[in-house]
């Protein structure tokens, strides 16, 4: 029997908000949509995340599930093609959150420096990691120029140009913004979050549906467990490298792009360029 091991309680509020359809299918994730929200069913190898169910399957590759297929909720079960998910007797646990009591302390700065040292040593050159390594992909070169421009000016208006920039289901520019937002929430820099939202919200249609959903969660301070654990590790300057390794497993480059976003916010606060 396929059962749910964990789910975001916020799903209770949107499950009956119109018909649920399959948006996209991957080996370890199925994205579902209704009138107003995107939800995700993931295998047991994936972290807890906003509007996500974690089930006891290792993979969805053996099931016949197609784009735009209608899902049926009936008798504490979710039917998606030949896949039946049991919801009965679930134990509800809240999604892990990012503490908003960061201070610009020596411990936090050391945690950021530990993350920077780890990042520079990585051999991946794709996505936002091109900040540390040269890259000959034209889209990546364009994106890295955008990042470096921001790092020289720290003009928050340039951040809107990150939206949809890069490859993949969640383009690198969006993942970088999520990393910056995670740090902004940790420092309780809600002014930065507010200004960035006002700048980026009109641009969200320029990126993918999945990325739009991810960014909206990030603006509201909702992140997946690997991301939240990395921010917590930075605050203590403890287990930073281990948490960075886990975070780097997200997507193809999404985890690394998130880390670059965290570091960009670190560079920004060192220069005193914040919107507290």
Q: At 79, list the tokens.
A: 């039917």
C-alpha closest to that of 44 among 57, 31, 53:
57
Is residue 67 located within the same domain as residue 177?
A: no
Give the pLDDT confidence of 90-148 residue by residue, as tens digits.
555 556 667 766 777 899 999 999 999 999 999 988 889 988 876 666 567 788 889 99
pTM: 0.89
pLDDT at 271: 85
Is residue 162 located within the same domain as residue 223?
A: yes
Count of domains for the chain: 2
Is residue 32 located within the same domain as residue 139?
A: no
| Structural domain that includes position 256 | 106-270
Give the pLDDT confidence of 62-73 residue by residue, as tens digits.
999 999 999 988
Is residue 17 located within the same domain as residue 145?
A: no
Report yes or no on 92 lying in a domain.
Answer: no
Report yes or no on 99 lying in a domain.
Answer: no
Q: At 96, list the tokens.
A: 């892990």
Distance between CA atoms of residues 177 and 264, nearest Å: 9
Is residue 127 located within the same domain as residue 160?
A: yes
Report yes or no on 136 lying in a domain.
Answer: yes
CB 225 within 8 A of CB 49: yes
Is residue 151 located within the same domain as residue 229?
A: yes
Report yes or no on 189 lying in a domain.
Answer: yes
The stretches in the chain having pLDDT less than 70 are 88-97, 100-101, 134-139, 274-276
pLDDT at 130: 87
Is residue 159 located within the same domain as residue 221?
A: yes
- The last residue of a domain, from among 86, 115, 131: 86
C-alpha closest to that of 179 among 249, 254, 119:
254
pLDDT at 197: 97
């Amino acid at each position: 029997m396929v059962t749910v091991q964990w789910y975001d309680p916020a799903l209770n509020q949107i499950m009956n908000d119109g018909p649920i359809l399959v948006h996209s299918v991957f080996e370890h994730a199925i994205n579902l949509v209704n009138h107003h929200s995107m939800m995700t069913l993931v295998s047991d190898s994936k972290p807890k995340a906003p509007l996500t169910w974690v089930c006891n399957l290792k993979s969805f590759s053996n099931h016949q599930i197609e784009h735009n297929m209608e899902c049926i909720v009936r008798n504490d079960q979710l039917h998606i093609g030949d896949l039946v998910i049991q919801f009965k007797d679930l134990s509800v646990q809240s999604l892990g959150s990012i503490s908003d009591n960061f201070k610009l302390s020596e411990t936090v700065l050391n945690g950021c420096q530990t993350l920077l040292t780890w990042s520079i040593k990585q051999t991946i050159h794709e996505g936002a990691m091109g900040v540390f390594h040269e890259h000959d992909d034209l889209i990546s070169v364009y994106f890295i120029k955008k990042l470096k421009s921001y790092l020289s000016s720290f003009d928050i208006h340039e951040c809107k140009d990150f939206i949809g920039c890069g490859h993949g289901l969640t383009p690198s520019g969006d993942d970088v913004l999520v990393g910056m937002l995670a740090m902004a929430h940790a420092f309780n820099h809600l002014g930065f979050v507010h200004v960035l939202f006002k700048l980026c919200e009109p641009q969200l249609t320029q990126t993918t549906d999945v990325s739009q959903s991810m960014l909206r969660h990030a603006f509201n301070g909702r992140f997946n467990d690997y991301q939240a654990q990395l921010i917590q590790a930075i605050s203590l300057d403890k287990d930073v490298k281990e948490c960075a390794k886990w975070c780097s497993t997200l997507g193809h480059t999404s985890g690394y792009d998130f880390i670059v976003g965290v570091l960009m916010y670190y560079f920004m606060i060192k220069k005193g360029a914040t919107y507290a």
